[in-house]
Amino acid sequence: YPNPTSNICYIELKDHDSIEFISVIDPTGKIVLKKTTINDYKTQLDISALKDGFYMISIITPTKTFIKRLIKI
Protein backbone atom coordinates (compact mmCIF):
# COMPACT_ATOMS: atom_id res chain seq x y z
CA TYR A 1 0.00 0.00 0.00
CA PRO A 2 -0.62 2.55 -1.32
CA ASN A 3 -1.28 1.32 -4.82
CA PRO A 4 -0.86 3.24 -7.08
CA THR A 5 2.15 5.05 -5.61
CA SER A 6 4.95 7.30 -6.76
CA ASN A 7 7.72 6.93 -4.17
CA ILE A 8 7.38 4.49 -1.28
CA CYS A 9 5.48 1.20 -1.32
CA TYR A 10 4.79 -0.45 2.05
CA ILE A 11 4.49 -4.22 2.24
CA GLU A 12 2.98 -5.95 5.26
CA LEU A 13 1.98 -9.60 5.47
CA LYS A 14 -1.21 -10.19 7.44
CA ASP A 15 -0.11 -13.62 8.67
CA HIS A 16 3.14 -12.08 10.03
CA ASP A 17 5.21 -14.53 7.98
CA SER A 18 8.82 -13.39 7.59
CA ILE A 19 9.67 -11.84 4.20
CA GLU A 20 12.95 -13.23 2.87
CA PHE A 21 13.19 -11.66 -0.57
CA ILE A 22 11.30 -9.13 -2.70
CA SER A 23 11.76 -8.40 -6.38
CA VAL A 24 10.03 -5.84 -8.59
CA ILE A 25 9.59 -7.00 -12.18
CA ASP A 26 8.83 -4.79 -15.18
CA PRO A 27 6.42 -5.78 -18.01
CA THR A 28 9.27 -7.35 -20.02
CA GLY A 29 10.11 -9.71 -17.14
CA LYS A 30 13.28 -7.88 -16.08
CA ILE A 31 13.96 -7.57 -12.35
CA VAL A 32 14.35 -3.83 -11.78
CA LEU A 33 14.60 -3.80 -7.97
CA LYS A 34 15.59 -6.40 -5.36
CA LYS A 35 15.49 -6.39 -1.58
CA THR A 36 16.96 -9.25 0.44
CA THR A 37 17.59 -10.18 4.06
CA ILE A 38 14.44 -8.55 5.36
CA ASN A 39 13.45 -11.14 8.00
CA ASP A 40 10.38 -9.22 9.11
CA TYR A 41 6.69 -9.33 8.18
CA LYS A 42 6.73 -5.72 6.94
CA THR A 43 9.06 -3.52 4.93
CA GLN A 44 9.06 -0.67 2.48
CA LEU A 45 10.38 -0.23 -1.05
CA ASP A 46 11.62 3.03 -2.54
CA ILE A 47 10.39 2.89 -6.14
CA SER A 48 10.96 6.58 -6.92
CA ALA A 49 13.70 5.73 -9.46
CA LEU A 50 11.40 3.48 -11.52
CA LYS A 51 9.56 4.74 -14.59
CA ASP A 52 5.79 5.18 -14.37
CA GLY A 53 3.91 2.03 -15.33
CA PHE A 54 2.82 -1.42 -14.24
CA TYR A 55 5.05 -3.78 -12.28
CA MET A 56 4.76 -7.13 -10.53
CA ILE A 57 6.13 -7.62 -7.02
CA SER A 58 7.33 -11.08 -6.02
CA ILE A 59 7.36 -11.60 -2.25
CA ILE A 60 9.05 -14.75 -0.98
CA THR A 61 8.60 -16.12 2.55
CA PRO A 62 9.84 -19.43 3.99
CA THR A 63 6.51 -21.07 3.13
CA LYS A 64 4.89 -19.05 0.31
CA THR A 65 5.45 -16.89 -2.74
CA PHE A 66 3.13 -13.98 -3.47
CA ILE A 67 2.85 -12.10 -6.76
CA LYS A 68 1.15 -8.69 -6.54
CA ARG A 69 0.54 -5.96 -9.10
CA LEU A 70 1.97 -2.46 -8.52
CA ILE A 71 1.21 0.75 -10.41
CA LYS A 72 3.93 3.44 -10.32
CA ILE A 73 2.69 6.96 -11.06
pLDDT, one tens digit per residue, over 36-65 is 988 899 999 999 999 999 999 999 999 999
User: Roughly how many angstroms between the first and final C-alpha of the chain, as a whole number?
Assistant: 13
What's this model's pTM, rounded to 2 decimal places?
0.89
With contact defined as beta carbons under 8 Å apart, do 9 and 70 qualify? yes
Model pLDDT, residue 11: 93
Rg (CA), the chain: 11
Q: Is the pLDDT of residue 1 over 90?
A: no
Torsion over CA of 37, 41, 47 and 51, rounded to 10 degrees? 100
Over the stretch 30-44, which tens digit does the pLDDT of each residue have?
999 999 988 899 999
